[in-house]
Amino acid sequence: MVQQDIEKQLRLAFSPDFLEIVNESSQHNVPPNSETHFRVVLVSAEFDHLARVARHQSVYAALAGQMAGPVHALALHTYSPNEWRQRQKAAPESPECLGGSNTDGA
């Protein structure tokens, strides 16, 4: 449900050319079936002339409700359509979680 809310808000705010949202909560020290950690790849013409920080700020503003509640972390990959083509439509994967109280590094 949280993931669907994130998708809805981002589609409304950015009219993306490409949007991928991955729930990465299972890779973190959280209860099963949590929706707290997400990886977002967002490609939009809205980002054409914005620096990375401004892009991230605009995403956080669009997701203010989710960030104040259930969402603990977002791994954001924001691109203009031209940047996305130059990257051959690929974004980096998230690194393994090293935090939390889990001693095996997950």
* Tens of pLDDT, residue by residue, the chain (106 residues): 999 999 999 999 999 999 999 998 877 677 676 788 899 999 999 999 999 999 999 999 999 999 998 998 899 999 999 999 999 988 878 766 656 554 444 4
Q: What is the pLDDT of residue 102?
A: 46
Quick one: pLDDT at residue 98?
A: 58
Which run of H or E residues covers position 20? strand 18-23
The predicted pLDDT at position 104 comes to 45
Both tokens of residue 100? Answer: 């939390």
Would you say the pTM of this structure is higher than 0.75?
Answer: yes
Q: Characterise 105 by phi-psi region: left (phi > 0), alpha (psi -120 to 50), beta (else).
A: left
The predicted pLDDT at position 12 comes to 98
Q: Could you write out the three-class secondary structure of 37-106?
A: EEEEEEECHHHCCCCHHHHHHHHHHHCHHHHHCCCCEEEEEEECHHHHHHCCCCCCCCCCCCCCCCCCCC
User: Residue 95 has what pLDDT?
Assistant: 67
Domains of the chain: residue spans and CATH = 2-28+35-86 (3.30.300.90)
Supply the pLDDT for residue 100: 55
Phi-psi region of 75 (alpha: psi -120 to 50; beta: other; left: phi over 0): beta
